């Protein structure tokens, strides 16, 4: 079992930055691939990006490439989403997710989910 808790959401102006954090707990948390997904009101959940267990592989949605960066610190069991050049269309609840398989992570097929953190970007 892996438990995930997100933090760092808030209100930011367009063009600004935020860093989301995800604290993972559980005996095997550091061996899991991690992902960030988001859901805006009235829309389906959308993949943002993922990182493999050792941080050497990442994948991003086209909509955030070049603006968002995922990183992890396995010593602290933390995963981060650095979001720069934020746009109003980035407004959503952001979820941290985990799965042991990197191929499943790239297919957005996660086993564990956090409760989400709200990000609101004003124009």
- Four-CA torsion 5, 7, 115, 62, nearest 10 degrees: -110
Secondary structure (H, E, C), the chain:
CCEEEEECCEEEECCCCEEEEEEEECCCHHHCEEEEEEECCCCCCEEEEEECCCCCCEEECCCCCCCEEEEEECCCCEEEEEECCCCHHHCEEEEEEEECCHHHHHCCCCCEECCCEEEEEEC
Query: What's the pLDDT at 68?
Result: 98
Q: Please give the distance of CA 19 from its chain centroid, rounded to a whole number.
A: 10
Average pLDDT across each block of 10 residues of the chain; the chain has 123 residues. List them in order.
96 98 90 96 95 96 97 96 98 97 91 97 96
Q: Is 104 helix (H, G, I), strand (E, B) or coil?
A: helix
Query: What's the pLDDT at 26?
Result: 87
The phi and psi torsions of 76 (rounded to 5 degrees) equal: -105, 0
Query: What's the pLDDT at 46?
Result: 95
Using alpha carbons, select from 114, 69, 70 the residue that is nearest to residue 95: 114
Query: What's the pLDDT at 87?
Result: 97
Q: Is 88 helix (H, G, I), strand (E, B) or coil?
A: helix
């Amino acid at each position: 079992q892996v438990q995930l808790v997100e933090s760092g959401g808030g209100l930011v102006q367009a063009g600004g930055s935020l860093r989301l954090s995800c604290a993972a707990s559980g005996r095997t948390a550091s061996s899991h691939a991690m992902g960030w997904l988001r859901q805006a009101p009235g829309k389906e959940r959308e993949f943002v990006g993922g990182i493999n267990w050792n941080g050497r592989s990442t994948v991003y949605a086209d909509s955030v490439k070049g603006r968002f960066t995922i990183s992890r610190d396995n010593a602290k069991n933390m995963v981060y989403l650095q979001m720069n050049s934020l746009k109003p269309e980035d407004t959503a609840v952001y979820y941290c997710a985990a799965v042991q398989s990197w191929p499943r992570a790239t297919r957005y097929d996660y086993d564990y989910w956090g409760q989400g953190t709200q990000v609101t970007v004003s124009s």
